[in-house]
Every structure is written in structure tokens, then in C-alpha cells.
């Protein structure tokens, strides 16, 4: 039987478990890592979802670094660090790649996007024979825009066809309307042969059709259907009857407060 070579940019992430000395040590003790053997990536969009502390962002960061991106974000041409805080997990990952190489790419970290914007200004302050770097981001300083505006500028001007995009919580500071705009732009890029791997809490973003969703639970990573995610179920329950949910939540809180009085 002939070997099928994947045409997607990144197709599988494997943890080299035999290299790990202890799964009790960080970051190997994190739920998303502790039981990880391998996960397949969708050729278009893959989501990692889960509570803070589950390890989804740590795993996403390691995937990005393994693919050649700067730990604090940016394109593969960015090489700066304001604070070394990434884990060693990337040293224990193997990424299976297709025969095609992406023409462009970007690693977005919501928490360090400010540093990327600063690095762009630092690069443009240096002598250069080429156009200013900010030209490729809409020609307006990202620091002079809100977080939401600067991300949309990035998505509109810097992201292009045949790209590999690793996004960590891109919904930060985005209104629901802006999140819908992100979905639309993502779809345009997917139709232009781009691939996304995204860690998110947003039930709007993870609704992207046919995407693969991996839930990071206390028992590890598992593929899950969109409507089975806790994010969808909580949001759906709330929107169907917000008064009932608020009543139950706040009444329980009042009971807890009363129970603590006089202690």
C-alpha cells in the first residue's frame, strides 16, 4: 500500500514520552500533557479548550516553538525575549509536517501581543533598506489602537494565504461582534489553504464548522463535539434562561454568606 504524504502544514503532535524523566515535574504534570501520546491536527482548524491551568496554552506554546516561532509571539523572523517564561515542553515534542511548507505564519499570544507591537516599533527605528515593518500590519502603530483593533489589523493585513497560524486566546478583548468577524476572516484564510491551531475559551470561535476540538480535562486530552463542550453548554443554558441561572447562582451565594456569619 503506498504511503500517503499529508499536504497540510502540521498534521500530528507526538510527545516523546521516553525522554521524560518525571511526569510529576512541570510541565509534564499538567493534565493536557501528563497522558499525552499524540494528537492529530485538522488540516484547517484545531481547537484546544479547557480551564485555566489545564495546560492547553502551555501545549500550544510548545507546538509553536517546535514549529520555529518565537516564544513570545510574532512571525518566525521575530527573535526577542522580554522575559524567559516558556517551558521546556517543546524539546519533547515531535511535529509531523506535510510536504508543503507554509508561505507565512504567526504565533499570537494575547498576553504578550504588547511586546510584539513594541518589537515592531524597535525594528522600524533601525536603519533598513526595506519598507517599515508596520507597513505589513496596516501602517498604523498597534500601540495606537485598542487591543481588539490591533488584533483585527493583524488578522486583516498580516495574515495571508498558505499560512500556519497558532493563536492563544485570540478572543481576549474582542466583543462578540468582533469574534464573528474573526470567524469570517478565518474562513477566508482557510479557503486560501491556511491552517489554524487555537487555544480558546470562546464558544463563538469554537463553533467553526468541521473543526476538531480537543478538551483538556483532568484526565487528559480528548476529542469532543462542539455541543458537548462545557463552554457551549454553559452559554446555551444561560442564554435560554438567564434569570433562572442567576437566581440559582446568587441564591446559593447568599446561602453561603449567611452560613459563614457568626463563625
Same domain, 51 and 116: yes
Note the pLDDT of residue 207: 97
4, part of any domain? no
Please tell me the distance from the alpha carbon of residue 184 to that of residue 182, in angstroms, as a whole number: 5
Note the pLDDT of residue 249: 84
The tens digit of pLDDT for each residue in 97-132 reads 988 899 999 998 876 565 666 666 666 677 767 777
* 3: confidence class by pLDDT, cuts 50, 70, 90: very low
Same domain, 243 and 128: no
Same domain, 143 and 242: no
Same domain, 237 and 158: no
2, part of any domain? no
Instruction: With a cut of 70, say whether residue 10 has pLDDT above it.
Output: yes
For the record, the C-alpha cell of 194 comes out as 491556511
> How many alpha carbons fall within 13 Å on the CB side of residue 82?
12
Q: Where are the strands (E) in 148-217, listed by range? A: 163-168, 195-199, 212-217
Note the pLDDT of residue 136: 65
The number of angstroms, rounded, from the C-alpha of 225 to the middle of its chain's C-alpha atoms is 18
The tens digit of pLDDT for each residue in 193-213 reads 999 999 999 999 999 999 999
Mean pLDDT, rounded, for 12-38: 95
The tens digit of pLDDT for each residue in 125-183 reads 777 677 776 776 665 766 766 777 878 888 888 899 999 999 999 998 899 999 999 99
Same domain, 70 and 100: yes
The number of angstroms, rounded, from the C-alpha of 198 to the middle of its chain's C-alpha atoms is 3
Please, what sign has the CA dihedral across residues 199, 203, 204, 207?
positive
Closest CA to 105 of 38, 170, 11, 193: 193
Please tell me the distance from the alpha carbon of residue 112 to that of residue 173, in angstroms, as a whole number: 13
Same domain, 15 and 75: yes
46, part of any domain? yes
Note the pLDDT of residue 127: 72
Domain hosting 259: range is 230-263
CATH number at residue 205: 3.40.50.300
Same domain, 111 and 239: no
Note the pLDDT of residue 263: 46
Amino acid at each position: 500500500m503506498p504511503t500517503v504524504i499529508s499536504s497540510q502544514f502540521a498534521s500530528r503532535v507526538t510527545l516523546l514520552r521516553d525522554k521524560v524523566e518525571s511526569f510529576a515535574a512541570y510541565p509534564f504534570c499538567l493534565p493536557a500533557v501528563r497522558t499525552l501520546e499524540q494528537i492529530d491536527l485538522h488540516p484547517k482548524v484545531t481547537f484546544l479548550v479547557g480551564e485555566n491551568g489545564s495546560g492547553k496554552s502551555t501545549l500550544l506554546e510548545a507546538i509553536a516553538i517546535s514549529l520555529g516561532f518565537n516564544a513570545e509571539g510574532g512571525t518566525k523572523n521575530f527573535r526577542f525575549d522580554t522575559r524567559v517564561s516558556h517551558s521546556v515542553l517543546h524539546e519533547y515534542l515531535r511535529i509531523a509536517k506535510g510536504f508543503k511548507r507554509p508561505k507565512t505564519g504567526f504565533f499570537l499570544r494575547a498576553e504578550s501581543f504588547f511586546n510584539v507591537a513594541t518589537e515592531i516599533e524597535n525594528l522600524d527605528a533601525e536603519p533598513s533598506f526595506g519598507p517599515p515593518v508596520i507597513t505589513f500590519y496596516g501602517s498604523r502603530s498597534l500601540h495606537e489602537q485598542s487591543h481588539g483593533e490591533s488584533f483585527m489589523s493583524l488578522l486583516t493585513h498580516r495574515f495571508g494565504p498558505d499560512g500556519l497560524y497558532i493563536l492563544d486566546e485570540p478572543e481576549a478583548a474582542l466583543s462578540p461582534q468582533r469574534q464573528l468577524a474573526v470567524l469570517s476572516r478565518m474562513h477566508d484564510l482557510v479557503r486560501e489553504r491556511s491552517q489554524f491551531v487555537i487555544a480558546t475559551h470562546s464558544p463563538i470561535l469554537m463553533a467553526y464548522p468541521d473543526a476538531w476540538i480537543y478538551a483538556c480535562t483532568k484526565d487528559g486530552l480528548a476529542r469532543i463535539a462542539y455541543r458537548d463542550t462545557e463552554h457551549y453548554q454553559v452559554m446555551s443554558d444561560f442564554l435560554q434562561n438567564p434569570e433562572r441561572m442567576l437566581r440559582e447562582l446568587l441564591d446559593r451565594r447568599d446561602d453561603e454568606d449567611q452560613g459563614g456569619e457568626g463563625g
